[in-house]
Chain A
Amino acid sequence: DAKTTQPNSMESNEEEPVHLPCNHSTISGTDYIHWYRQLPSQGPEYVIHGLTSNVNNRMASLAIAEDRKSSTLILHRATLRDAAVYYCILRGIRLRNQGGKLIFGQGTELSVKP
């Protein structure tokens, strides 16, 4: 299974943009890049996913490098409620039973200062 590498922690100021990086140099052509976040005392929450093109939704944007070996989750205006652990994960779907596996790394702990 392809692995991802993220910084252990990052800090941001409230109402400023945050760019959370993720490296996945061994990604395969059928791996989707997923991002989840986990707020304290809660279950992980799906944020966004993409394959090759950049993606936007109401929560965040996902920028994917042209060679797909890295990606960046962008929170356009950080709020105190965005303080969480953010996980970058690869979800492969080439094989029928591969889509069931979702391997979480250690993630990036984001703190947001007022």
Chain B
Amino acid sequence: EAQVTQNPRYLITVTGKKLTVTCSQNMNHEYMSWYRQDPGLGLRQIYYSMNVEVTDKGDVPEGYKVSRKEKRNFPLILESPSPNQTSLYFCASSQQGADGYTFGSGTRLTVV
């Protein structure tokens, strides 16, 4: 089944403890992207990647890192999480061009 898989689905962590949220897609898509969703602020793009080793900042990249060493994987790294990064995170992937994005099921992160 074609899908975008995020792990974990739920995560509670403490301020400053580095964490990684994984994202994997099995559709050989070139584009991958991370979003966060917060009440009243909607979906905001964090980072996106056009292909292996090619990434660019979205609208809210501060406090996040990404890497794209393989086409199928696009992990989101929080080097020193803070409470304001408590949010619902979505990973998405798409073919190059005009096609629609496929989204993962989301990761709910709480930083205390």
* Chain B interface mostly: strand
B26 to chain A, nearest CB (A): 16
The answer to whether B100 touches A100, judged by C-beta atoms less than 8 angstroms apart, is: no
* CB-CB under 8 A for A100 and B48, given A44-B43, A105-B42, A107-B42: yes
Q: Are B59 and A103 closer than 8 Å at their CB atoms?
A: yes
Query: Cβ of B45 and Cβ of A45 under 8 Å apart?
Result: no
Partner of A49, one of B59, B92, B100: B100
Is B58's CB under 8 angstroms from A101's CB?
yes
Known contacts A34-B100, A100-B31, A104-B42, A43 near B105 by CB under 8 Å: yes
Contact B42 A36 (CB under 8 A): no
> Contact: A51 with B42, CB < 8 Å?
no
Most central of B54, B98, B99, B104 by chain A CB within 10 Å: B98
**Chain B proximity mask over A66-98: 1 for CB below 8 Å, otherwise 0:** 000000000000000000000100010100110
By a CB distance below 8 angstroms, the chain A residues around B42 are 104-107
Interface centre among A44, A97, A104, A107 (most CB of B within 10 A): A44
Q: Is B102 in the interface zone, CB < 8 Å from A? A: yes
CB B38 to nearest CB in A, in angstroms, measures 12
Nearest chain B CB to A32 CB, angstrom units:
4
Residue B62 is within 8 A (CB to CB) of chain A in the complex:
no
Instruction: Chain A residues near B31: list those with CB within 8 A.
Output: 99-100
Tell whether, in the assembled complex, residue B98 and residue A42 are in contact, meaning their CB atoms are under 8 Å apart.
no
- Contact yes or no, B43 A93, CB < 8 A: no
**Chain A residues, Cβ within 8 Å of B96:** 99
If A43-B90, A43-B105 touch, whether A99 touches B100 (CB-CB below 8 Å) is: no
By a CB distance below 8 angstroms, the chain A residues around B106 are 42-43
13 CB-based A-B contacts, threshold 8 Å: A34-B100, A43-B92, A44-B101, A44-B103, A46-B102, A49-B98, A91-B98, A96-B50, A99-B94, A100-B56, A101-B58, A105-B42, A107-B42
